[in-house]
Structure 1
Amino acid sequence: MARPFFAEVILLLTTWIAGWGWIFSKEATTEMPTFGFIGLRFSAAALIIFCLCFRAFRHVTKSQWRDMIASGVLLAVMINLWMYSVVTAPTLGDGAFIMSLSMLVVPLLDLFWVRKAPSSAYWRSLPIAVLGLALLTLGNHSSSTSSQGWFLLTAFTQAIYFRFNSDFSTRVPLLPLTTVQLGVTGLISLTISGIWETWSTPFSSATWSWFVASVVIATSLRFWLQLVGQKATTPANAAVIMIMEPVFTLLISAFWYSEQLSATKLAGCGLILLAQLFYRFTLSRQLKRKASHA
């Protein structure tokens, strides 16, 4: 199998696992407290990755520790907002598409943060995404509108995390960065849980099974596969493939929970997906054109 094709298959598998991760999390939190689940999940994942890279921490400097902890705090805010959105949402499919809008928020952050204007491809794709979001919210009950609002807030938070994490990742070794991010998220989530949540134990064996699947498959295995895939392909190819996560989430949640989306909502999901694909492919062509004229 050719190496680029192998990488694309691995990344496609990664997005499929990510889609199942939404199910694992929602099922586990039927008994586990929401923030407690996130705390245990990310602490366990951090411990697993630490065992694989503990020698790399010998070379981490004080300034790198500050960067890693700061990025961990950003991840903790984003993940806990996402988990609350998942738990309170009546359906997962439309929430996954709203979350995917974070990739279209990042260029806006660059506009205000580093005064870097988005490309023309971005401005042409943004109205398509906004129309898709509008269609998703049409005819909603108050509970659906509320959960979609939480997903939208999470998408903005995720964009902030991605924006700053791209800077952190250039200054800090990848595996120590990931370990600390997961560990900080776990500690903050357990602290929130200890203050606001009540633990009713023991949990059923089914709940523990969902928890183990979340830690081993949806977190540790997914991270490892994503690293393998990204190393063997271009960032542009990886970004396009990772856009498939909301598609898989929609299909898996429809299968698992027998969710049914109206034609209007399906059209909204389709427009959001179209906006992202249009942005990625148009931007890629523009970059290639600039490179050829350089």
Structure 2
Amino acid sequence: MSAYQSVLKGDNESTVASLVLVLVTLLAAMGWIFSKETIAGLPPLLFIGLRFLLSSALIAPFCRNSLKRMNGRHLALSIRIGLAQSVALMVWIMAISNSSSLGEGAFIASTAMILVPLLGRILYSERIPRPTLLALPVTIAGLALLSLRASWQFEISQALYLIAAFGIALQFVFTSRDGRSIPSNALTFVQFSTVAVCCLLASAAMEEWDLTNVPMNIWLWFLASAVIATAVRYFLLVWCQKRLDSGPAAVIMTLEPLWTALMSAFWLSESLTSLQTVGCGLIMAALFIARRR
């Protein structure tokens, strides 16, 4: 294959990965709704633990060959990614359980994508692409407008979302940097298993379990969360992260709060102000800036 053909192949793969990552953000937004509905009948940490336990079981049959190709270093890196994700998810689900607005929470959590290239620079001395640098202030301005209300009161959920954002960013950087050499199936399985163990242990220590009186509709929401918003989404996410630089991928991930706000408006009757609508437009503009060649 000539050098020119290699470049074209790389460009096509990057474009496909970018489009799949947009789908990932849509599935992630659906996960916010699924999670909010599920924790109405299940303890939050137990829900996360069971969700990832079921998801790891679903993908286990597809991971045998890839798990055999893993070495000790791959396993350690995968567990580290899973630990970062565990902390982020435990804080995130506690934020959702204390939050009065999923849309606002999604925008706060999406600041993780602003932290990604900065953490990549600090931890691995990665060069921040110039288009990403140009897109970052536009993204920040859009998020600022989206956070405005007629009156603003600090809530514990807002602090929890910010803490979760750091964990999400750290997991994203670890996956983009260290996950490239690890088979996607194996990485996803170990990652899910780590989250399941951590969350179930935390739940056993902090929550009371009573699954006998859980309504059937709660279990249906739980299944949607485990299968659609977890197993399918994270497999696609890992596939994308191994094919995209962390900076541009991080900006694409800012679509998640946009989808979440729209779904929250439809399902939970939340609404966006005119300033927040302008903020959405700024974030969309940032996406085009970041993807400019």
CA–CA distance in 2 between the matches of 1:159 and 1:276?
A: 18
Name the structure 2 match of 1:258: 269
2:78 maps to 1:63: no
CA–CA distance in 2 between the matches of 1:75 and 1:35?
A: 13
Shift in alpha-carbon separation, 1:140–1:133, aligned structure 2, 3 A: farther
CA–CA distance in 2 between the matches of 1:9 and 1:107?
A: 20
Shift in alpha-carbon separation, 1:153–1:276, aligned structure 2, 3 A: farther
Unaligned runs of 5+ in 2: 1-11
The answer to whether the 8 A contact 1:8-1:238 is kept is yes
CA–CA distance in 2 between the matches of 1:237 and 1:121?
A: 8
Shift of 1:241: 5.4
Shift in alpha-carbon separation, 1:193–1:120, aligned structure 2, 3 A: same
- Find the residue that maps to 1:142 and give its secondary structure: coil
Equivalence map 1:7-18=2 (5 Å): 11-18=21-28
Unaligned runs of 5+ in 1: 286-294
Shift in alpha-carbon separation, 1:25–1:194, aligned structure 2, 3 A: same
Query: Which one of the candidate residues 207, 218, 227 is aligned to 2:229?
Result: 218
Equivalence map 1:117-128=2 (5 Å): 118-128=128-138
Query: Which one of the candidate residues 79, 87, 93 is aligned to 1:83?
Result: 93
Name the structure 2 match of 1:197: 207
Most deviating of 176-185 and 112-121 = 112-121
CA–CA distance in 1 between the matches of 2:83 and 2:250?
A: 24
CA–CA distance in 2 between the matches of 1:90 and 1:176?
A: 37
Most deviating of 71-80 and 177-186 = 71-80
Name the structure 2 match of 1:290: none
Partner amino acid, structure 1, of 2:271: Q
Query: Which one of the candidate residues 207, 231, 238 is aligned to 2:218?
Result: 207
CA–CA distance in 1 between the matches of 2:16 and 2:137?
A: 35
Shift in alpha-carbon separation, 1:111–1:271, aligned structure 2, 3 A: same
Name the structure 2 match of 1:104: 114
Q: TM-score when scaled to structure 2?
A: 0.81
Partner amino acid, structure 2, of 1:35: L
- Find the residue that maps to 2:30 and give its secondary structure: helix
Query: Which one of the candidate residues 22, 28, 50 is aligned to 2:60?
Result: 50
Shift of 1:223: 3.6
Most deviating of 72-81 and 131-140 = 131-140
Most deviating of 21-30 and 262-271 = 262-271
Count of paired positions: 277
Query: Which one of the candidate residues 180, 192, 196 is aligned to 1:182?
Result: 192
2:174 maps to 1:170: no
Shift of 1:240: 6.4
Shift in alpha-carbon separation, 1:54–1:197, aligned structure 2, 3 A: same
Shift of 1:8: 7.0
Shift of 1:30: 0.5
Shift of 1:169: 0.7
Name the structure 2 match of 1:74: 84
Shift in alpha-carbon separation, 1:117–1:193, aligned structure 2, 3 A: same
Most deviating of 62-71 and 7-16 = 7-16
Partner amino acid, structure 1, of 2:106: A
- Find the residue that maps to 2:94 and give its secondary structure: helix
Once the two structures are superposed, what CA deviation does each residue of 1:23-75 show, in whole Å capped at 9, x if it has no partner? 00110000100000000000110111112112322232222221121111111
Once the two structures are superposed, what CA deviation does each residue of 1:210-237 show, in whole Å capped at 9, x if it has no partner? 1111111111233455578x49x97698
The answer to whether the 8 A contact 1:71-1:181 is kept is yes
Most deviating of 128-137 and 34-43 = 128-137
Shift of 1:165: 1.7
Most deviating of 7-16 and 207-216 = 7-16
Shift of 1:100: 2.4
CA–CA distance in 2 between the matches of 1:94 and 1:216?
A: 25
Partner amino acid, structure 2, of 1:171: S
Once the two structures are superposed, what CA deviation does each residue of 1:154-173 show, in whole Å capped at 9, x if it has no partner? 22221111112222212322
Shift of 1:12: 4.4
Q: TM-score when scaled to structure 1?
A: 0.81
The answer to whether the 8 A contact 1:35-1:193 is kept is yes
Most deviating of 109-118 and 199-208 = 109-118
- Find the residue that maps to 1:90 and give its secondary structure: coil
- Find the residue that maps to 2:92 and give its secondary structure: helix
Question: How well do the aligned residues superpose, as a CA RMSD in angstroms?
Answer: 3.0
